[in-house]
């Protein structure tokens, strides 16, 4: 039986900032259509890893391949939602124009641009803010606009760095479900970073736990929950609690290895 080749292949990746080693010996594959989440404590190197994965940062050693080709700039099939929403939108364009920009740049027909932009803005609850400029929006709304831009693009690979950190709990749940729905609809691969263990288990097919710097993947947990997720029913499953505890325990052990007593952030 032939196995489907990975869409992303990361091999012995390391990244130094001067004499400080942020990432060390990171190796993993992501399968096409997979929801792969990287979870770990603050400062563990998750953003550094995502930046290397997307070609925004050059690794010190090791390689990243997308569909068998070395990544040395953001591949056009990727959409990236960064943690810092204040830098992700162009302030002089309306929200609508910001969302439409990548589609226009890639030659999508005008009518389709309008349709995909309107749908993405409605999906993230920003239909009424389409004509506003980013400076007129709250932080959470700006982040939703950045998410709308990524999903309107319908990328092969959606890369998200703590994308829901600045939105309220209900919006966060809605956006989590939106990403899951779009993954089903378009067959996207999603690479996601979070420090929220519940979120990682709820969304993912696999969760990679990273240790503190120098960051390594200490374990990869298979999330063998039914593929159809539901904010209430899935989180009530005994298996959800087991997986959540497994991921928590792994992070807690690694934080303790480095810091001594458990970080309060990860007390269950």
Ligand X SMILES: Nc1ncnc2c1ncn2[C@@H]1O[C@H](COP(=O)(O)OP(=O)(O)OP(=O)(O)O)[C@@H](O)[C@H]1O
Structure tokens at 171: 């919006």
The piece of 36-44, 61-69, 100-108, 123-131 that touches ligand X (CB under 6 A) is 36-44
Cα–Cα distance measured from residue 202 to residue 39, given in angstroms and rounded to the nearest whole number = 13
**Cβ–Cβ < 8 Å for 120, 149:** yes
DSSP 103-157: HHHTT--HHHHHHHHHHHHHHTT-GGGTTS-GGGS-HHHHHHHHHHHHHHT--SE
Phi and psi, residue 48, nearest 5°: -60, -45
Is 116 a binding residue for ligand X by CB under 6 A? The answer is no
Min CB(47)–ligand X separation in Å? 3
Radius of gyration of the chain (CA): 18
Give residues 185-214 in contact with ligand X (rule: CB under 6 A). Answer: 195, 213
Is 26 a binding residue for ligand X by CB under 6 A? The answer is no
The piece of 42-50, 71-79, 152-160, 224-232 that touches ligand X (CB under 6 A) is 42-50
Min CB(258)–ligand X separation in Å? 11
Is 254 a binding residue for ligand X by CB under 6 A? The answer is no
Is 216 a binding residue for ligand X by CB under 6 A? The answer is no
Considering only 14, 22, 30, 79, the residue that binds ligand X (CB under 6 A) is 22
The piece of 39-47, 91-99, 122-130, 239-247 that touches ligand X (CB under 6 A) is 39-47
Q: How many helices (H) and strands (E) does the chain have?
A: 8, 10
Considering only 7, 24, 48, 151, the residue that binds ligand X (CB under 6 A) is 48
Q: Angle at the Cα of 55 (from 50 to 59), degrees rounded to 5?
A: 80
The piece of 17-25, 110-118, 250-258, 260-268 that touches ligand X (CB under 6 A) is 17-25
Is 43 a binding residue for ligand X by CB under 6 A? The answer is yes
**Cβ–Cβ < 8 Å for 125, 119:** no
Choice between 82 and 120, CB closer to ligand X = 82
Contact residues: ligand X, CB under 6 A: 17, 20, 22, 40, 42-48, 195, 213
């Amino acid at each position: 039986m032939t196995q489907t080749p990975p869409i992303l292949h990361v091999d012995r990746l390391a990244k130094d900032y001067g004499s400080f080693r942020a990432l060390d010996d990171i190796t993993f594959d992501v399968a096409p259509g997979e929801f792969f989440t990287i979870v770990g404590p603050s400062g563990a190197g998750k953003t550094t890893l995502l930046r290397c994965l997307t070609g925004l940062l050059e690794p010190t050693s090791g390689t990243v391949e997308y569909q068998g080709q070395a990544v040395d700039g953001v591949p056009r099939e990727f959409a990236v939602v960064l943690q810092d929403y204040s830098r992700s939108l162009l302030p002089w364009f309306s929200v609508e124009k910001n969302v439409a920009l990548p589609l226009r740049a890639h030659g999508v027909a005008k009518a389709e641009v309008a349709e995909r932009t309107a749908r993405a803005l409605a999906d993230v609850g920003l239909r009424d803010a389409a004509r506003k400029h980013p400076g007129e929006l709250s932080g959470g709304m700006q982040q939703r606009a950045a998410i709308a831009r990524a999903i309107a693009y319908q990328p092969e690979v959606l890369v998200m760095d703590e994308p829901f950190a600045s939105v309220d709990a209900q919006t966060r749940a809605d956006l989590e479900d939106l990403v899951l729905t779009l993954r089903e609809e378009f067959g996207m691969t999603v690479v996601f970073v979070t420090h929220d263990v519940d979120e990682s288990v709820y969304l993912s097919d696999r969760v990679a736990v990273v240790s503190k710097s120098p960051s390594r993947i200490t374990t990869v947990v298979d999330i063998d929950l039914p593929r159809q997720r539901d904010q209430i029913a899935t989180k009530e499953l005994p298996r959800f609690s087991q997986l959540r505890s497994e991921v928590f325990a792994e992070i807690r052990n690694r934080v303790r290895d480095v810091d001594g007593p458990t970080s309060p952030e990860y007390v269950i």
